């Protein structure tokens, strides 16, 4: 069975009791979260609370990790993405991903962006050129690289590389874009460029971003989900830790009037 | 941070102790550096010694005697410029009684004792024969008819060799090494004076176009590496063609598809161990499997059997290097590929293999060096030690350069050593040729991957 995009429901993605294990170790537990269509949702929280884990579960990137196991549901366009008849390859074509460290292929700029469309069997040179130009324009990179599309993607600066990766992700026209700390390897100016780009992209795409930067969350996100760590003493000196979704709401509310004390402590930097 | 131990505190605060320690540390570094330099110098010295021994034998003065100087047979003594008919004519004039022997030695492949009793059409099936010769035995043919058989059925280089061996009869009386030739000219002149009448002194490069193009012969003056060179090229090229796809395929399977089960670990460890198995063992295997059991497909002692055996021998090297190269492809690149909706195979083909190409080619380079130099397994799978006809296809008999070299050095006279030195230079040249090709390909692949 294949995935047919539905424009209807307000929620692009719904997580239902999403729980992830790595081998026998519980990583995050019982995440219930609704992601609104064409908005930016930020995941914040201390290191190791499972932000990346949840993000990577949404487009089944965790399938690649041996030992990773997911229970619960990820609903997208009326389908549970973890149903046995859903192909992970198809999921990732609808829900794209941008990683923490820019990871362009050691290929030309053109070939980087054309990679996805070519996977789908598009061979026609004119069509490919069109897609590449559109994607590079949409990721604000076109003016900087239009004269040397043959240059290696690795020859670009870090910020340009990250925008190239965004162009590569949107070239297959996904519906949702997942970004795992996309600016953490970049300088402030490159970071600002990516943030502006996100605010532009959100007119067309649903975006989920993991960030460690509180200001960034406040600048770009419509909604913010705060994840935290729970600990439990199993036996003496043997502690069990797992992550969970502590609080979720409009960014304004999370930062100005958090309902939980732990949220308040985390955003004010008192944590840990 | 806890407080530093007292002794360490002693050094940190004691200026003199610090200076002593620093001198010792600096001295240690210098000592290691000198050791590394020494290692390199020793390596280079060994290489120079090797090169010198080979070159010293491959060039130098020779004193030679002739039965009939080539200048009397052909304009400027250039036998290579003569046609088949002219060469056959020379043989008829100078050695009429041996024509039947040449036919037997170079064209007939059955039992020598039977040869004289068979009609020509049976003795030489498929050969070009003059009308009337088919039903006669070799004794019933006259000289012209025998000469025609030689001229019509042997290649020109083989005829040249026969003329050189049996008519010109160049015989190397004495040879001198390159060093002797350079420093002891007077001694060489004295040797020439005591040599038989008609002896000539000339500077000879044992590696020459003639050496490359002539088949082997029983005379070191006219022997050549042609057949062995072609054999080496055939076997090596075919070996790579077989081992490359299989080796890379196995590496892909082990790295990308095989689950990390105990059985698969066991297979991997075994492949690693196979790389260290003595090559003679592969020879025994090749003899049993390819030469004997599969003789109907491989033609027995053929180039194909040799290449299959060599493929087995180099497969572990190819597989291991390809595995390392595939493993070294960063996870981030795979994730990038999966992240835009690539299937596993698309990711392997478009990203993993592309990035692994330079490392895979490194394995191929190592494998080529090994395949070209191997002798023992090929002796077992039946490389001929003396063969005058060029390999003509996958199923033909063959020999290779290392075996030719071994064959030369097994003979006691100095001229054969010189021929061996020449063959070694040819072997090194072939090695260089194959390796250079692979290195250039690797360089290209690397450049494609870099910024
Ligand atoms: N590949 C993995 N294998 C095993 N454990 C993992 C793996 N990735 C993450 N974890 C564990 O899962 C928990 C959540 O990690 P992660 O999702 O990376 O947190 P975050 O992104 O919020 O810092 C951590 O305890 C981490 O050690
Ligand atoms: Mg993370």
Q: What is the pLDDT of residues B433-446, one digit of tens each?
A: 999 999 999 999 99
Q: Smallest CA–CA separation between A118 and chain B, in Å?
A: 10
Mean pLDDT of chain A: 93
User: Is B86 found in the same domain as B44?
Assistant: no
The Cα A162–Cα A150 span in angstroms is 18
Q: In angstroms, rounded to a whole number, what is the distance separating the alpha carbons of residues A164 and A182?
A: 12
pTM, two decimals, is: 0.83
Out of A64, A66, A107, name the one closest to residue B338 (CB). Answer: A64
Residues B37 and B101 in one domain: no
Q: Evaluate whether residue A272 is within a structural domain.
A: no
From the list B187, B179, B175, B191, the residue with the least C-alpha distance to B61 is B175
Residues B152 and B50 in one domain: no
Distance CA B47, CA B228 (A): 25
Q: Are residues B361 and B433 in the same domain?
A: yes
Q: Is residue B185 included in any domain, yes or no? A: no
- Asked if the Cβ–Cβ distance from B450 to A152 is below 8 Å, we say yes
| Confidence (pLDDT) at B9 | 58
Please tell me whether residues B143 and B241 are part of one structural domain.
no
For residue A214, give its domain range.
11-104+175-267
- 8 Å CB contact between B446 and A106: no
B414 shares its domain with B308? yes
Please indicate, yes or no, if residue A23 is contained in any of the structural domains: yes
Q: Is residue B64 part of a domain?
A: no
Is residue B167 situated within a structural domain?
A: no
Segment B318-374, tens digit of pLDDT: 999 999 999 999 999 999 999 999 999 999 999 999 999 999 999 999 999 989 988
d(CA B227, CA B405): 12
In a domain, A34, yes or no: yes
Distance in Å, alpha carbon of A4 to nearest chain B alpha carbon: 16
Instruction: List B residues 354-373 in contact with A (Cβ-Cβ < 8 A).
Output: 354-355
Q: How far apart are CA B262 and CA B201, in angstroms?
A: 71
Whether residues B151 and B121 share a domain: the answer is yes
B309 inside domain:
yes
Residue B20 sits at φ, ψ, to 5 deg, of: -60, -45
Residue B44: predicted pLDDT: 97
Inter-chain residue contact B335 with A119, CB threshold 8 Å: no
Q: State whether B361 and B261 are in the same domain.
A: yes
Q: What is the pLDDT of residue B354?
A: 94
B341, B353, B448: which to substitute to probe chain A, counting the most A Cβ within 10 Å? B341
pLDDT at B2: 47
Q: Which residue of B has its CA nearest to A116?
A: B340
Residues 2-61 on A with a CB inside 8 Å of B are 59, 61
Number of domains in chain B: 3
Number of structural domains in chain A: 1
Shortest CA distance to A79 belongs to which of A68, A69, A90? A90
CB contact under 8 A, B339 and A61: yes
Index of the ligand 1 atom closest to the CA of residue A23: 4
Domain extent for B110: 81-158
In this prediction, the residues of chain B whose per-residue pLDDT falls under 70 are 1-11
Contact by Cβ (8 Å): B151, B90: no
Give me ligand 1 centre to Cα A47, in Å: 9
Parallel/antiparallel/unpaired status of strands A11-22 and A25-36: antiparallel
Cβ atoms of B117 and B137 closer than 8 Å: yes
A179: domain CATH number? 3.40.50.300
**A99/B343 CB distance under 8 A:** no
Contacts of A99 in chain B (CB under 8 A): 332, 335-336, 339
For residue A192, is it within any domain?
A: yes
CA A93–ligand 1 middle distance (angstroms): 24
CA of A168 to the centre of ligand 1 (A): 26
Q: Is B215 within a domain?
A: no
* Cβ contacts of B350 on chain A, cutoff 8 Å: 115, 119
- Last residue of a domain, which of B158, B179, B213? B158
Which residues of chain B does A170 touch, with a Cβ-Cβ cutoff of 8 Å? none
User: Which ligand 1 atom sits nearest the alpha carbon of residue A25?
Assistant: 5
Interface check A185 vs B, CB under 8 A: no
Tokens describing residue B396: 């033909």
The protein residue whose alpha carbon is closest to atom 1 in ligand 1 is A65
CB of A78 within 8 A of CB of A5?
Answer: no
Residues in chain A, pLDDT under 70: 1, 7-9, 271-272
Taking the C-alpha atoms of residue B79 and residue A31, their distance in angstroms, rounded to an integer, is 91
The per-residue pLDDT for A1 is 58
A44, two tokens: 């914040």
Q: How far, CA to CA in Å, does B24 sit from each of B18, B37, B429?
A: 10, 20, 48
Judge if B248 and B364 occupy the same domain: yes
Ligand 1 is surrounded, with C-beta below 6 A, by A 22, 27, 45, 47-53, 65, 243
């Amino acid at each position: 069975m294949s995935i047919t995009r539905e424009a209807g429901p307000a929620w692009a993605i719904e997580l239902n009791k999403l729980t992830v294990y790595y081998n026998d170790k519980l990583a995050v537990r019982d995440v219930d979260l609704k992601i609104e269509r064409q908005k930016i949702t930020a995941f914040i929280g201390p290191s190791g609370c499972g932000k990346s884990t949840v993000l990577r579960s949404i487009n089944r990137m965790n399938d690649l990790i041996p030992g990773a196991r997911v229970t619960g549901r990820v609903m997208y366009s009326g389908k549970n993405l973890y149903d046995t008849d859903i192909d992970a390859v198809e999921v990732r074509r609808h829900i794209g991903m941008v990683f923490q460290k820019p990871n362009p292929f050691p290929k030309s700029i053109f070939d980087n962006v054309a990679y996805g469309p070519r996977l789908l069997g598009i061979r026609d040179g004119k069509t490919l050129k069109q897609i590449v130009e559109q994607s590079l324009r949409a990721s604000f990179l076109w003016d900087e690289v239009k004269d040397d599309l043959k240059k290696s993607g690795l020859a670009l600066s870090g910020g340009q590389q990250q925008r190239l990766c965004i162009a590569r992700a949107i070239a297959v026209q996904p519906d949702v874009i997942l970004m795992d700390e996309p600016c953490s390897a970049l300088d402030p100016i490159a970071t600002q460029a990516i943030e502006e780009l996100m605010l532009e992209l959100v007119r067309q795409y649903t975006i989920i971003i993991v960030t460690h930067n509180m200001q960034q969350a406040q600048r770009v996100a419509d909604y913010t989900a705060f994840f935290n760590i729970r600990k439990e003493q199993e036996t003496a000196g043997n502690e069990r830790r797992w992550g969970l979704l502590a609080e979720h709401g409009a960014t304004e509310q999370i930062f100005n009037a958090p309902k939980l004390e732990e949220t308040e402590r985390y955003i004010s930097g008192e944590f840990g | 941070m806890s407080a530093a131990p007292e002794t360490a505190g002693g050094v940190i605060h004691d200026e003199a102790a610090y200076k002593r320690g620093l001198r010792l540390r600096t001295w240690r570094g210098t000592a290691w550096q000198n050791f590394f330099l020494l290692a390199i110098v020793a390596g280079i010295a060994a290489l120079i010694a090797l090169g010198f021994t080979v070159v010293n034998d491959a060039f130098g003065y020779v004193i030679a005697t002739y039965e009939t100087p080539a200048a009397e047979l052909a304009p400027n003594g250039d036998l290579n410029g003569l046609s088949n008919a002219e060469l056959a004519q020379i043989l008829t004039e100078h050695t009429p009684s041996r024509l039947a022997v040449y036919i037997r030695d170079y064209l007939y492949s059955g039992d020598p004792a039977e040869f004289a009793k068979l009609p020509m059409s049976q003795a030489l099936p498929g050969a070009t024969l003059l009308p009337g010769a088919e039903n006669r035995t070799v004794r019933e043919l006259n000289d012209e008819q025998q000469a025609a058989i030689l001229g019509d059925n042997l290649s020109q280089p083989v005829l040249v060799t026969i003329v050189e061996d049996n008519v010109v009869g160049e015989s190397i009386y004495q040879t001198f090494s390159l060093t002797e030739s350079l420093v002891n000219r007077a001694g060489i002149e004295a040797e020439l004076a005591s040599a038989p009448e008609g002896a000539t002194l000339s500077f000879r490069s044992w590696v020459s176009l003639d050496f490359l193009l002539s088949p082997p012969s029983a005379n070191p003056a006219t022997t050549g590496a042609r057949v062995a060179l072609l054999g080496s090229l055939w076997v090596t090229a075919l070996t790579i063609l077989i081992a490359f796809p299989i080796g890379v395929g196995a590496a892909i399977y082990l790295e990308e598809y095989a689950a990390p089960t105990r059985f698969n670990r066991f297979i991997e460890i075994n492949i690693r161990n196979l790389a260290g198995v003595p090559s003679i063992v592969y020879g025994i295997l090749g003899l049993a499997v390819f030469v004997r059991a599969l003789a109907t497909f491989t033609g027995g002692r053929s180039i194909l059997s040799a290449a299959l055996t060599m493929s087995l021998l180099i497969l572990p090297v190819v597989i291991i290097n390809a595995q390392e190269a595939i493993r070294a492809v960063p996870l981030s690149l795979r994730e990038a590929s999966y992240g835009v909706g690539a299937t596993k195979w698309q990711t392997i083909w478009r990203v993993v293999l592309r990035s692994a190409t330079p490392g895979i080619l490194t394995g191929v380079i190592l494998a080529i060096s090994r395949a070209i130099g191997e002798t023992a397994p090929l002796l077992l799978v039946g490389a001929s030690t003396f063969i005058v006809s060029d390999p003509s296809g996958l199923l033909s008999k063959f020999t290779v350069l290392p075996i030719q070299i071994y064959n030369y050095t097994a003979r006691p006279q100095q001229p054969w050593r010189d021929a061996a030195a020449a063959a070694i230079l040819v072997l090194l040249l072939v090695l260089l040729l194959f390796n250079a090709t692979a290195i250039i390909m690797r360089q290209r692949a690397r450049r494609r991957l870099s910024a």
